[in-house]
Amino acid sequence: MNKVYKKACTEVLEALKYIPLDEYHKIPYKTIAFMEENKDKDYNYKYDVKSPKMSKQANIIIIRLYLDYIANEKEKKIINEILELNSKKKIKTKTNEITIISKKNQNRKYDEYSEIHDFPIKIENTNWLKKLINKIKLIFIKRKS
């Protein structure tokens, strides 16, 4: 198992300490035991509820656990819609980047008297994973209250 996944398991196990006990028990014991066996024992991670910083892999694992074991049907539907929408945005952004690069290369005229300036093109990407994690955290916070 690779080092990145081991660190993600460590982060997920630490984050799971902060969810309500009844929701924690919805996750199968085998899944938790698997993460315990595969966590990175040398990686010291502290979960901060106010400003959590987790790896992309850990976020993906948490989303999957939430969808598979904790979320009700309404929450699953909302999360799946968000994931689908973000997937479409990601594909569209990549297509736009390819189009910009190809147009940029086609429009160049190289002659000895012209001066070419390449300025970076900024394409703003919204991190869909962060949005989804924040929504899931809000659900956890609302359930604790």
pLDDT tens-digit series, residues 26-54: 999 999 999 999 998 898 888 887 777 88
Note whether residue 78 is domain-resident: yes
145: pLDDT strictly greater than 60? no
Note whether residue 107 is domain-resident: no
Note whether residue 119 is domain-resident: no
Q: Report which secondary-structure segment, H or E, holds 39.
A: none
Domain that holds residue 89: 3-102+126-144
Instruction: Tell me, yes or no, if the pTM score tops 0.85.
Output: no
pLDDT band at residue 123, thresholds of 50, 70 and 90? very low
Task: Specify the range with the lowest mean pLDDT, choosing from 17-21, 53-57, 127-131, 133-137.
Answer: 127-131
Note whether residue 12 is domain-resident: yes
**Hey, what are 89's tokens?**
């945005």
d(CA 119, CA 96): 17
pLDDT band at residue 99, thresholds of 50, 70 and 90? low
Structural domain count of the chain: 1
Burial of 106 (0-12, 13-18, 19+ CB in 10 A): exposed
pLDDT value at residue 110: 44
Note whether residue 67 is domain-resident: yes
Asked if residue 109 lies in contact with residue 65, where contact means CB atoms within 8 angstroms, the answer is: no
The mean pLDDT value for 62-88 works out to: 86
Note whether residue 114 is domain-resident: no
Which residues have CB under 8 Å from 5's CB, separation 6+?
A: 38, 57
Note whether residue 115 is domain-resident: no
Helix residue ranges per DSSP H, 42-115: 56-65, 73-106
pLDDT band at residue 86, thresholds of 50, 70 and 90? confident
Count CA within 13 A, CB hemisphere, residue 86: 14
pLDDT value at residue 114: 40
Note whether residue 118 is domain-resident: no
Rounded to the nearest angstrom, the gap between the alpha carbon of residue 142 and the centroid of all alpha carbons in its chain is: 21
